[in-house]
Structure 1
Amino acid sequence: MAQLQDLKDEASSKRLAPLSSEELQEAREIRIKEIKMGKIIREIIFYLIFLNLTMLICFGEHDPDIFHMHKSMRNMFVQAGYNGRMRFTKIHGREDFWNYTENVFIPTMYSNSWYNGEPDIPGRTEHSLADKSMHLVGTARFRQLRIKHDICAIPETMINKTQDCRAPYSITDEEDVDFDEGWKAVNQSAKPNYKVQPLAVWKYHSWYNISSFPYLGKHALYNGGGYLADLGISPEESLRVAAYLRENMWVDQYTRAVFMEFVVYNANINMYTTSFLLVEFLPQGGHLRPLHSLLPHQRDP
């Protein structure tokens, strides 16, 4: 740029003839280099801004205790480190789901003893988990999503082989009506009282009523609503709920997903963990590798 200005000044002062083609070409190349350099500098500045924002999101306000809490939760509920032998990732069907629920999930969720072996006296219950450092907030619950009956057509050549058509899950084909016990149609003249247990597990709840949101699994995008089954405040009560659900086929061939949802709190580090375990059931009766989400976070300063 300085050279171009010098040439202009010299031409103006001496009233020389217009620049030659070689001089114009040189001036043009200098200007192109300046434009390219400006673009490079802008790209470097935007990249540094992006890098700083990325590091701020990834590492800003990131408590090192989050890793240890996530590891402990995974050890308890995914790896079955305290109770039972059925790992969460080894659930292959409905029987495995109930085996995991009764022998791993519920015993791990409720610890009835302290470090020294003394029982947790009723009335002084701390709702501590198996690791004795975390505490259950409220109660755990199961949320089921299922499909409607007869929403797919059976080919004529297969009608003599089967009368049952099981479609994959989709939000548009999701079952969203209330049922009587055992997924029976409701008698309109004698409707069940869904305000009491255990009949409440047969009532459908929309995502808006339970403040839940859709979740993308491996097989489908699942709605935030569903049929809710709240577990109890003790292992005995929770096992009774699980036994009732199992005996009445709460999870059957039309079930496509079950979310096991709960929140725990660790007073030692003042941290919550919002957790859910997702089991997906395929229409063919197979399974997908279960998913889990364990999200430690701090709500209080």
Structure 2
Amino acid sequence: LPAIDKYFYYSSIQKLINFFHKGLCKVPNIIIRANISVGCAPPFTRSTEETRNFKFNWTGIETEKNPIPSPWIHVNAQDAGTVEFIGVTSYNYHGGGYIAYLHRNRRYTNHTLGELIFSNWLDFNTRLIIIELTMYNVNVNAFTVVGFMVENLPGGVFLRLSQVVTFEIKSRWAFWVVIFTLFSL
């Protein structure tokens, strides 16, 4: 496991998860006739969630299977190894989404984030962003899961939530069960 410092080790790859909606809403004709430029963001539901696979920069529909993970390909919760998230608005996000894997090196992570921003991976249609990582502390035999979430509501309001959960491994066999489980995802 790569070290963060002398006490903590990364035990999973950090992920940036994007829940993206289709933008299926209708701007009233009176607004269109008045030539007022507005964005239209419908409420996020399972029926408005985008699940198609795209090519770079949300252009075209990707039809070929590619074994290399891509932030433009939708991944279901089981394949992504994620669980349901409950947002600040109490909406249950089912897991999965468009996932960009971040590096354990700050320079590479900054480069990846720059590419995602430049290519509009985060845009007006992004409803929820989740950043998650898992660390292991060898001194206390415990795992810490850190999650940051930002919800973009239809009215243009951004809500954020952060969670830190630590659980200690009490017995030797439980430690190996957790290690096996984490690496089998």
Residue 253 of structure 1 contacts residue 285 of structure 1 at CA under 8 Å; is this kept in 2? Answer: no
CA-CA distance at 1:211 after TM superposition: 3.2
**Please, which runs of 5 or more residues in structure 2 have no aligned partner?**
172-185
Match of residue 26 from structure 2: 153
CA-CA distance at 1:194 after TM superposition: 3.9
**Quick one: which amino acid aligns to residue 131 of structure 2?**
M
After superposition, residues 25-104 of structure 1 pair within 5 angstroms as none
Q: TM-score normalized by structure 1?
A: 0.52
User: What secondary structure sits across from 2:53 in the alignment?
Assistant: coil
Residue 76 of structure 2 contacts residue 96 of structure 2 at CA under 8 Å; is this kept in 1? Answer: yes
After superposition, residues 1-301 of structure 1 pair within 5 angstroms as 126-129=2-5, 132-149=6-23, 151-160=24-33, 161-162=36-37, 164-186=39-61, 188=63, 191=64, 194-196=66-68, 200-219=70-89, 220-288=91-159, 290-299=160-169, 301=171
Identity of aligned residues (%): 23
CA-CA distance at 1:136 after TM superposition: 1.3
Change in 2 beyond 3 A, CA 1:153/1:126? closer
Residues 204-229 of structure 1 show CA distances to partners (whole Å, capped at 9, x for unaligned) of 00112223222221223212110110
Change in 2 beyond 3 A, CA 1:204/1:232? same
Structure 1 distance, partners of 2:7, 2:19, is: 33
CA-CA distance at 1:298 after TM superposition: 2.2
User: What secondary structure sits across from 1:173 in the alignment?
Assistant: coil
**Quick one: which amino acid aligns to residue 147 of structure 2?**
F
Structure of greater Rg: 1
| More helix, by proportion | 1
CA-CA distance at 1:163 after TM superposition: 6.5
CA-CA distance at 1:283 after TM superposition: 2.5
Structure 1 distance, partners of 2:85, 2:124, is: 21
**Quick one: which amino acid aligns to residue 196 of structure 1?**
I
Q: TM-score normalized by structure 2?
A: 0.81
Residue 170 of structure 1 contacts residue 221 of structure 1 at CA under 8 Å; is this kept in 2? Answer: no
User: What secondary structure sits across from 2:157 in the alignment?
Assistant: coil
CA-CA distance at 1:141 after TM superposition: 0.8
Change in 2 beyond 3 A, CA 1:171/1:143? same
Structure 1 distance, partners of 2:60, 2:47, is: 20
Residue 140 of structure 2 contacts residue 168 of structure 2 at CA under 8 Å; is this kept in 1? Answer: no
Q: How many residues align?
A: 168
Structure 1 distance, partners of 2:62, 2:20, is: 21
| More strand, by proportion | 2
Structure with the larger RCO, 1 or 2 (CA within 8 Å, 6+ apart): 2
User: What secondary structure sits across from 1:242 in the alignment?
Assistant: helix
Structure 1 distance, partners of 2:55, 2:11, is: 30
**Quick one: which amino acid aligns to residue 16 of structure 2?**
F
CA-CA distance at 1:300 after TM superposition: 5.2
Residues 36-58 of structure 1 show CA distances to partners (whole Å, capped at 9, x for unaligned) of xxxxxxxxxxxxxxxxxxxxxxx
Residues 258-282 of structure 1 show CA distances to partners (whole Å, capped at 9, x for unaligned) of 1101100110100001221111112
Q: RMSD over aligned Cα, in angstroms?
A: 2.1
